[in-house]
Structure 1
């Protein structure tokens, strides 16, 4: 890394620190009903409560509240700037001025500088720039389109994001491209010259379209778990905060001693979401301090209040969260059994026992089956009757969905294919947004069973899916039905553009690892490994398919 880049990153970190300081204060300047009103505007507020599919969505809501909510003509930033005493030449003042000029738009990623940031093109306004964002630079792929808000501090030649971004797929982009001119004008000047009120309408429109297109489910890498293969643990990056809680970088803490430290179980994030929902269920906060505590919680800044369980089921669930934080397997099993003594309707306790205590697949199946039955008792028939369509957005359904996924996986592993696929189909009916990635498992099952009609139907249900699973399976189906035809070759070319790494693993030019990646990103090597692990049998069982790929694939894809 050259000196100028190092200096840029050093300045970026200084400005990020100043931004965190300002963000900590801004919720105090929001009106009392900001969350509810903004939640309604963005579609988060349903049936008297805020419903989030992920913690990232809370950041999207908070960003909109701070920048776009103007019941009296001013947003929180303008109120704070008008009354606060901030040193004129301080970084906080620089950040505040940049926030006042921040804009929400669609940004296409042209080039990526790993570990630094991304070169972007504003697809609405037409100008280009460079966004310094270390996390984004590690996960983004070239060609990605991101909806986010950026700010440009006056003393630097780069921009910074203000909050979570939402990635687009083809269907989202087509809808946005069609409706923006109709709603906001066809000329660039119509967008650039919008009033603050129209700008708020613009960002709300973009956010709603992206969320309706399930963009938030693509905001983080997808977890991958495959029966019959060992699963690697997530490890902290060298410059990440050490998961042991010391406050130091991993490389200067446990990483310096060679001690492996796994990242926290993602299920633990739900504890914070439960706290959010419990607070919001009150609907009318008793004091400004209570409201501010909530605001800081959902924005991920300041101290997050701990979830306080009240019912026996909640108390059992809290014991499970303690178990997930426990490094010793024996202790995790003990805590799971303790949770069941508190409440035998705790699905996650059975899930944990299936994961940790089962020695054979049949035993795991029995634990998962009990978890499904416990979830049905805990949720009650009304939830199953009234909530299909956004099941995962209700935190209380997630333990049940995990148990049902585990049961289906075990059934398939034990040869009960039809029963397993029926569970997968029902889970997609309950939660078509498919935050768990069930569609990939079902597609793999259908291809292994040679049920091409059902596989094609599933591909159509998620027709704008941008993953190797969809692109390469479309190519395989085209070959099965038409041989090495023009259509099959066309689908293969599309698949290669989406992920050129798949071919090398599929043809054996690269050796498959002993363990699957814990998480994958669209278009990367880990996605290729995960796809081949699940779909190699379908390709090998199709006469001539691998030879077709070998002959048809251009050399630069095979050896790049």
Structure 2
């Protein structure tokens, strides 16, 4: 028996055993996570839904994720994102928006997983004539502010298994979102082509001395491709920097002054950084070393909205 099929059967057996031992589970509307004895049952359902998703059993996977969200609305297992994206993938956009509204403040969500889903919803609406180009780009900007890696990673068409450890703005978060978005982009013709066109719609980087990049860094996390092949996510927005509340937090000099020969910014996830020496997290580079800035035109225009 193939490993995934074997895992699927094991989870099904665990769920069936739970129903035999506790028949009242079938009648319960809620199965709260806070009650410890419910957790093995909820974990088995989550495992089953995840395995079925990996097996291409989208309908079965969605129904099991839906069950978890109904049984445990607090969503301690983080299934609201997969449910949201799977509903988009089968064209149930209204229900998807209801899920987002109920569990993450809808279009005002601060979660990247929802904001990137709204790009897909609005792209379809745009194709049908129900969403303007301006509104579509606004949805894109909201999402890009939360994670710069997602769209470039999605366009590589390299689907990776989701990570168990996720932090905001990170590549791991992007991998999870791409994993969820791919089912929809495969069913929605023209999505990837539009995203690819939008990424460098006015050139791969501004034709200036770095002033636009400097302005963008004051507001957002920006993905910058360097000529040496390195890709970094950086910002000079102090409010966005992790650790800013610690007494040991320090800023690098030159960060607030534009100098085309030395752009200074905080790099997300820099390994050399620790809580005792924040200066290690700052990088500097001349604008001439920058090769690309994805979506720079869209983000720059959004500054004035």
1:227-306 pair list within 5 angstroms: none
Whichever of the two has the greater Rg, that structure is: 1
Among residues 148, 166, 181, which one is paired with 1:500 in the alignment? Answer: 148
| Number of the residue aligned with 1:475 | 119
| Number of the residue aligned with 2:172 | 526
Give how far 1:558 is off.
Answer: 5.3
Inter-CA distance 473–418: structure 2 relative to 1 (3 Å threshold): same
> 1 or 2, which has the higher helix percentage?
1
Inter-CA distance 506–558: structure 2 relative to 1 (3 Å threshold): farther
Give how far 1:380 is off.
Answer: 4.4
Task: Determine if contact 1:379/1:396 at 8 Å carries over to the other structure.
Answer: no
Whether 1:360 and 2:3 are equivalent positions in the alignment is: yes
Whether 1:427 and 2:68 are equivalent positions in the alignment is: yes
The runs of 4+ residues in structure 1 deviating greater than 6 Å are none
Whether 1:417 and 2:58 are equivalent positions in the alignment is: yes
Task: Determine if contact 2:159/2:179 at 8 Å carries over to the other structure.
Answer: no
Q: Secondary structure in 1 aligned to 2:33?
A: helix
Q: How big is each residue's C-alpha offset from its partner over 1:376-431, in whole Å with a ceiling of 9 and x where there is no partner?
A: 23444179537x1x611111101001111222234444554333322211111111
Inter-CA distance 522–396: structure 2 relative to 1 (3 Å threshold): same
Among residues 3, 15, 18, which one is paired with 1:375 in the alignment? Answer: 18
Give how far 1:436 is off.
Answer: 1.0
| Number of the residue aligned with 1:207 | none
Equivalent-residue separation in structure 1 for 2:32 and 2:147 (angstroms): 31
Give how far 1:506 is off.
Answer: 1.9
Inter-CA distance 520–462: structure 2 relative to 1 (3 Å threshold): same
Give how far 1:361 is off.
Answer: 2.9
Equivalent-residue separation in structure 2 for 1:537 and 1:415 (angstroms): 10
Give how far 1:437 is off.
Answer: 1.5
Whether 1:445 and 2:86 are equivalent positions in the alignment is: yes
The RMSD of aligned alpha carbons is 2.8
| Number of the residue aligned with 2:137 | 489
Inter-CA distance 519–547: structure 2 relative to 1 (3 Å threshold): same
Task: Determine if contact 2:160/2:179 at 8 Å carries over to the other structure.
Answer: no
- For structure 2, the residue ranges without an aligned partner over 5 or more in a row are 206-212, 214-221, 225-292, 294-305
Task: Determine if contact 1:376/1:400 at 8 Å carries over to the other structure.
Answer: no
1:26-425 pair list within 5 angstroms: 359-381=2-24, 385=28, 388=30, 391-425=32-66
Equivalent-residue separation in structure 2 for 1:558 and 1:486 (angstroms): 22
Q: How big is each residue's C-alpha offset from its partner over 1:24-77, in whole Å with a ceiling of 9 and x where there is no partner?
A: xxxxxxxxxxxxxxxxxxxxxxxxxxxxxxxxxxxxxxxxxxxxxxxxxxxxxx
Q: How big is each residue's C-alpha offset from its partner over 1:219-240, in whole Å with a ceiling of 9 and x where there is no partner?
A: xxxxxxxxxxxxxxxxxxxxxx
Task: Determine if contact 2:69/2:80 at 8 Å carries over to the other structure.
Answer: yes
Q: Secondary structure in 2 aligned to 1:434?
A: coil
Q: How big is each residue's C-alpha offset from its partner over 1:210-255, in whole Å with a ceiling of 9 and x where there is no partner?
A: xxxxxxxxxxxxxxxxxxxxxxxxxxxxxxxxxxxxxxxxxxxxxx
| Number of the residue aligned with 1:455 | 96
| Number of the residue aligned with 1:335 | none
Deviates more, 1:372-381 or 1:494-503: 372-381
Give how far 1:453 is off.
Answer: 2.7
Equivalent-residue separation in structure 2 for 1:418 and 1:512 (angstroms): 23
Q: Secondary structure in 2 aligned to 1:426?
A: helix
Give how far 1:512 is off.
Answer: 5.0
Equivalent-residue separation in structure 2 for 1:436 and 1:377 (angstroms): 24
Equivalent-residue separation in structure 1 for 2:115 and 2:124 (angstroms): 15
Give how far 1:359 is off.
Answer: 4.1
TM-score, with structure 1 as normaliser: 0.32
Task: Determine if contact 1:372/1:404 at 8 Å carries over to the other structure.
Answer: yes
Inter-CA distance 474–378: structure 2 relative to 1 (3 Å threshold): same
TM-score, with structure 2 as normaliser: 0.57
Q: How big is each residue's C-alpha offset from its partner over 1:96-122, in whole Å with a ceiling of 9 and x where there is no partner?
A: xxxxxxxxxxxxxxxxxxxxxxxxxxx
- For structure 1, the residue ranges without an aligned partner over 5 or more in a row are 1-357
